Amino acid sequence: MRLKELLQGIGVLESTVDPDLEIKNVYYDSRQVTKDSLFVAVSGFAADGNRFIPMVLEKGAAAVVTAKKPQGDIPYVLVDSDRLALAMLGCNFYGHPGKSMTMIGVTGTNGKTSVTLLLKQVLEKCLGAKVGLIGTMANMIGQESIPTERTTPESFALQGLFAQMRDAGCTHVVMEVSSHAVALERIGGIFFDVAAFTNLTEDHLDFHKTMEAYCQAKAELFRRCRRAVVNVDDSYAHRILAAAACPVVTTSVTAPSQLQAREVALDARGVRFTAVSAGEQARVCLPIPGRFTVYNALTVLGIARCLGLSLSDSAAALGEAKGVKGRVEVVPTPGKPYSILIDYAHTPDGLENVLRSVRDFCKGRLIAVFGCGGDRDPKKRPIMGKIGVQLSDIAIITSDNPRTEDPMAIIADILKGVKKEFGEYIVMEDRRSAIRYAMDIGEKNDIIVLAGKGHETYQDIGGRKLHLDEREEVAQYLRESRNENG
């Protein structure tokens, strides 16, 4: 592809390169550069891509794209934004694959994964569509799963993934859109057919610094869509609505809205409610317990409405949907009088939501096992400590993903928010031991919530990912119990 074709739509300030130069590939990782390729020098957080320009030229790169004018006799294209340039290069290199599919983006602090996975099932059931999915748990092309390292891939890789989906016959793409993805231009060049907002609570302040900046990143998505779905029960909804330059479907459980949940019933088996919209109504049943499941279901129904699906058809498809791994996931405990739920709750709001939701139907004690991740916003640790101890009958404070931090230092931060009068709690640094202790003390009708890991099957300790699947830990404990009892 000629350079001038690759640079379409990019704010070029100056260039020392022949616009008709043939480019064989585009790279943003200096280690991958090959002869006659274009290297995009991205100013990252861990490293500045401009440092590697001499090395990539030695490897045969034909030119570099950069937002910092290089010194010396170097073939370069100077741009306004290296990150936006990378995104647009991806769009041009892969032929704007998103334009040939229906693009749906879901953003918010909590609920993105559940909404996208449930929506995928609804679209497959109602339309017979082949749906691509991009999210925290996995990227999927139809039923083929591709592991992922981050919620939204880097922009150039994202466009490559869209191209794979297009070439495989996908008609729809459902993706989680993180605030990082917006702020770092990973979704640059993408215009969404529908964008949805679930909620906004404190998270990622190590990156965004303030809730205002965090909200602003989320709101930007709604300037890039044709239709929007917004949960107006959230306190930040008015800012999202103000940013939306398109028709909006509002959803709510408690406030006036275009799509409402009424006659809500919760129990350990799931949720039931009546969805009402413009005189039409449909009964919704989902086998996923928790009040937030009602909100997630409303968001799915709202998106489906934007895509022209009837409320009754969408509700029927939701009733056949499977639960989402690691989201209020019921773990089998045959022979035991208590229940165990695994949930990805790793933020203050996420932990509060799951514990309050479980309290709605818990007939015994609520036992919470939780911790906080390392190398992440430390301000939320004492908040989670307070929530975890106050909202449970017994809290077991343990490790989550300590990463490069000392696990006990993280726990010490958590304990800063805890007072003795809040309730009963114990500290157990080793997460396996914490899970086993919870099962040791579990009694009839108790519900044990293992919070924080969700779908993850590892512990990130000291920068190494060590295997830890909480389902396997529970199953192993039960096997040992059966052997001990003969």
pLDDT tens sequence across 243-258: 998 999 999 999 999 9
Question: Residue 465 CA to chain centroid, in angstroms?
Answer: 19
**Greatest mean pLDDT among 180-194, 278-292, 294-308:** 294-308
Q: What is the pLDDT of residue 459?
A: 96
289 pLDDT band, cuts 50/70/90, is confident
CA distance between the termini of the chain:
70
Q: How far is it, in rounded angstroms, from Cα 89 to Cα 27? A: 10
Q: What is the pLDDT of residue 184?
A: 86
Selected residue with higher pLDDT from 327 and 273: 273
Fold of 329-484: Protein-Tyrosine Phosphatase; Chain A (3.90.190)
421 pLDDT band, cuts 50/70/90, is very high
190 pLDDT band, cuts 50/70/90, is very high
Q: Do 245 and 222 touch, CB atoms closer than 8 A?
A: yes
Q: Which two tokens stand for residue 53?
A: 């320009």
**Residue found under tokens 């799963």:** 145
Q: Do 108 and 229 touch, CB atoms closer than 8 A?
A: no
Q: Do 377 and 206 touch, CB atoms closer than 8 A?
A: yes
Fold of 97-319: UDP-N-acetylmuramoyl-L-alanine:D-glutamate ligase (3.40.1190)
Residue extent(s) of CATH 3.40.1190.10 domains in the chain = 97-319
Mean pLDDT along residues 151-159: 87
- pLDDT tens per residue, range 336-355: 999 999 999 998 988 998 99
Question: Residue 154 CA to chain centroid, in angstroms?
Answer: 14
Mean pLDDT along residues 163-181: 94
**Residue found under tokens 């739509």:** 9
Residue extent(s) of CATH 3.90.190.20 domains in the chain = 329-484
Mean pLDDT along residues 369-384: 95
Residue 71 to residues 36, 66, 442, 445, Cα–Cα distance (Å): 21, 12, 67, 70
Residue extent(s) of CATH 3.40.1390.10 domains in the chain = 3-93
322 pLDDT band, cuts 50/70/90, is confident
| H-run or E-run covering 32 | none
Mean pLDDT along residues 404-410: 97
**Residue found under tokens 């009733």:** 319
Please, where are the H alpha helices in 188-236?
A: 205-208, 211-220
Q: What is the pLDDT of residue 210?
A: 82
Rg of the chain over Cα atoms, rounded to whole angstroms, equals 24
Q: How far is it, in rounded angstroms, from Cα 304 to Cα 193? A: 12
CATH code, 3-93: 3.40.1390.10
Residue 325 to residues 113, 232, 238, 331, 454, Cα–Cα distance (Å): 10, 27, 31, 10, 7
Q: What is the pLDDT of residue 205?
A: 54
pLDDT at residue 45 is higher than 90 = no
For strands 63-66 and 76-79, give the pairing.
parallel
150 pLDDT band, cuts 50/70/90, is low
Across 52-66, 144-158, 178-192, 193-207, least confident range = 193-207
pLDDT at residue 203 is higher than 70 = no
Q: How far is it, in rounded angstroms, from Cα 285 to Cα 282? A: 10
Rounded to 5 degrees, φ, ψ at 444 are -55, 130
Please, where are the H alpha helices in 307-379?
A: 311-319, 348-361
pTM above 0.85, yes or no: no
Q: How far is it, in rounded angstroms, from Cα 118 to Cα 332? A: 22
